Amino acid sequence: MSNATDNDSTNQIGLERADMSQVIAKLNSLLSSYHTFYINVRGYHWNVKGEHFFTLHPKFEELYTALQLQIDEIAERVLTLGGTPLHAYSDFSQHTGIAEDKNVKDGTTCVKGVVTGLQALIEEQRKISALAADSDDQGSADLVDAYVQEQEKLVWMYNAFLG
């Protein structure tokens, strides 16, 4: 009996290795963006000041906790596809689509940073979803599509806070 791993041209889940190389690269870039955004949100959580502190401090904690789980899921998807997830800050800084946001304390500025970061992730994930779907990689497409759906709602909510 033959299985998908008997064929050198396919990975452990039966997808063509050649088709997955680009998906893996894009997922690693996404992983880098998530790490940068995670660090930004941790900074917002730690450093936010002002009248909205008691509202924003726990909201930022909710967000970075969710991001931490998503980071793990993305890295595990890279492994499932036969790749190696990036795991060094130097790699993250070279592949991220999100800029570092340092020394931000004002609540409104922090929330604007969250919205900008979420919008960047959404855009990156939509591209990955299309690429994955074109490569018959429904698992990766479904993973990022679920993130997009939740993040679109978060963009709406944080924008409502901004007025």
pTM: 0.92
Contact 69, 113 (CB under 8 A): no
In order of start, what are the domains of the chain with their CATH numbers? 23-162 (1.20.1260.10)
Signed CA dihedral, 130, 73, 100, 41: sign only: positive
Could you tell me which of 110, 85, 79 has the C-alpha nearest to residue 35? 85
Tally of CB atoms within 10 A around 56: 22
pLDDT tens-digit map of 105-163: 999 999 999 999 999 999 999 999 999 999 999 999 999 999 999 999 999 999 999 99
State how far the Cα of 46 lies from the Cα of 74, in Å rounded to an integer: 25
State how far the Cα of 22 lies from the Cα of 7, in Å rounded to an integer: 20
According to the model, what pLDDT value does residue 5 have? 45
Could you tell me which of 59, 43, 68 has the C-alpha nearest to residue 162? 59
